[in-house]
Amino acid sequence: MGPLSPTRTRRLWGPRSLGVALGVFMTIGFALQLWGGPFQRRLPGLQLRQPWVPSPGPALPSCPPRQRLVFLKTHKSGSSSVLSLLHRYGDRHGLRFALPARYQFGYPRLFQASRVKGYHPEGGGTQPPFDILCHHMRFNLKEVLQVMPSDSFFFSIVRDPAALARSAFSYYKSTSSAFRKAPSLAAFLANPRAFYRPGARGDHYARNLLWFDFGLPFPPEMRTKRGNPHPPRDLNPPQLRVLPSGAGPRVHTLDPNALFHPAPTAADGHSQTSSPITLDLGSSSFIQWSLAWLDSVFDLVLVAEYFDESLVLLADALCWGLDDVVGFMHNAQAGSEQGTSAGSNGGLTAEKRHLTARARAWNNLDWALYVHFNHSLWARIKQYGQSRLESAVAELRARREALAKHCLVGGEALDPKYITDQRFRPFQFGSGKVLGYVLQSGLSLHDQKECELLATPELQYKDKLDAKQFPPTVTLPLKTSRLFSP
């Protein structure tokens, strides 16, 4: 994209600078007005598009496919499987990826446009535009809009914080100081304050990781200086009243100036500007404001516990075919419980139910996020049609199973000890084994290629895309003797 317009170059107020109070404390009157039924015009000066309507019937989509995409790849939420779909779709259609120099965009720092390989803001508009931004980052909308068109399709994925905590503890035990000091997840959740210190190296993995990845600000009491032995007590997240987001409209074109300056609201007869830093967290207004902000930015948020249902809705929203979202699971750890509903606690032991409750309470902001977007997903499912969704999900699973039987040894993911081809061996990190795939022998050349793309892990596929977009240049040495010979 070219240089920003004078409007966009003004100082923006987003998650990065929400720590600066922009107004006075909001009153109960504002909270009632903001979160009541009349809350329809979320942002000033923005043209709202029509409410989301599912595409009719199982026939081929009649609308043009969306191919400008921003995917916020959250950690330990099934996002690597979504990334694999985007890699294959973009590769197949010749789309241009906004790639990091290595494998992440400076995470855990907030995303910066300058970290995108091949991004030249002073290029005078001559560089080809980017189509897909999808690798690990901490979300920063202002900088994302420097790279991607404002009418891109924004989406992400969330996971039940209890399941995420189990996965993160195993995967990041050597990275997070809090996890490293705890002998087990149960011991950590029994007394997290004994291990966790805000700001300690890697400890963003240990609490409210989703909230962190979305680039949202933290309440003041959660920004305690490192080493404070007496942090404030926890909130009680199960009692949070989380506003269901529904399937209402998002602005068609994101205007960063309008987006980061919420609508003035009347409280006690005065016009005020709301800011999360000025809200009373005890009344959950801080959380509600942040969730409303996310609703204004993201077109769709998938839910890991309803992964296949989410993929069907994603294909419908993007006007893609069902085959475009059929793929294999990636970066799954052995023994993981992906796809288990957050509400299916009936089969858990009393001890596991207790750990689940503690994990959700400790990750209270993530639990609010999860409940909110779980409501959002099911509102969309209701509009899509339950029976229609069940049919599409069954078809998706049948196609995936058929591909797995045709492509894969054993028809499923395998322990990495069986994967000798480094092209398909996933990066091993943490205490758990990351599963991968071994291809069947005797495949036709066409099937071999397709199966390879389905089985390629995210790091290897990123390298493949990098080499395709930025092919190495070969410089031949000059033969000076011939140049200067008579």
Q: Is 414:436 a contact under the CB 8 Å cutoff? A: yes
Over the stretch 293-342, which tens digit does the pLDDT of each residue have? Answer: 999 999 999 999 999 999 999 999 999 999 999 999 998 888 765 555 55
Q: Is 152:299 a contact under the CB 8 Å cutoff? A: no
Higher pLDDT, 122 or 344: 122
For residue 414, which of 406, 399, 424 has the smallest C-alpha distance? 424
Label each residue of 90-116 as H, E or C: HHHCCCCECCECCCECCCCCECCHHHE
Which whole number is the average pLDDT over 378-397? 97
Q: What is the pLDDT, as a whole number, of residue 429?
A: 81
Which whole number is the average pLDDT over 427-437? 85
Question: Can you give the C-alpha Rg of the chain in angstroms?
Answer: 24
Q: In 138-263, at which residue ranges do the beta strands (DSSP E only) sit?
A: 153-158
Which whole number is the average pLDDT over 464-472? 94
Over the stretch 45-78, which tens digit does the pLDDT of each residue have? Answer: 322 233 334 444 444 558 999 999 999 999 999 9
Q: What is the pLDDT, as a whole number, of residue 127?
A: 73
Which whole number is the average pLDDT over 343-366? 86
pLDDT of 360 strictly over 50: yes
Over the stretch 186-218, which tens digit does the pLDDT of each residue have? Answer: 999 999 999 999 889 899 999 999 999 999 998
Higher pLDDT, 90 or 14: 90
pLDDT tier for residue 18 given thresholds of 50, 70 and 90: very low
Q: What is the pLDDT, as a whole number, of residue 279?
A: 39
Higher pLDDT, 479 or 123: 123
pLDDT of 260 strictly over 80: no
For residue 288, which of 52, 42, 16, 11 has the smallest C-alpha distance? 42
pLDDT of 20 strictly over 60: no
pLDDT of 88 strictly over 90: yes
Higher pLDDT, 69 or 128: 69
Task: State the helix-helix crossing angle for 350-362 and 161-171, rounded to 10 degrees.
Answer: 90
- Residue 315: both structure tokens together: 């294909």
DSSP 270: E
What's this model's pTM, rounded to 2 decimal places?
0.76
- Residue 453: both structure tokens together: 């793309």
Element (H, E) at 312: helix 307-318
In the numeric block, the tokens 């985007």 are attached to 86
Q: How many CB atoms lie within 10 A of CB 214?
A: 25
In whole numbers, what is the pLDDT of the chain averaged over residues? 78
pLDDT of 26 strictly over 70: no
Over the stretch 400-430, which tens digit does the pLDDT of each residue have? Answer: 999 999 999 999 999 999 999 999 999 988 6
Q: β-pairing, 264-267 with 270-273?
A: antiparallel
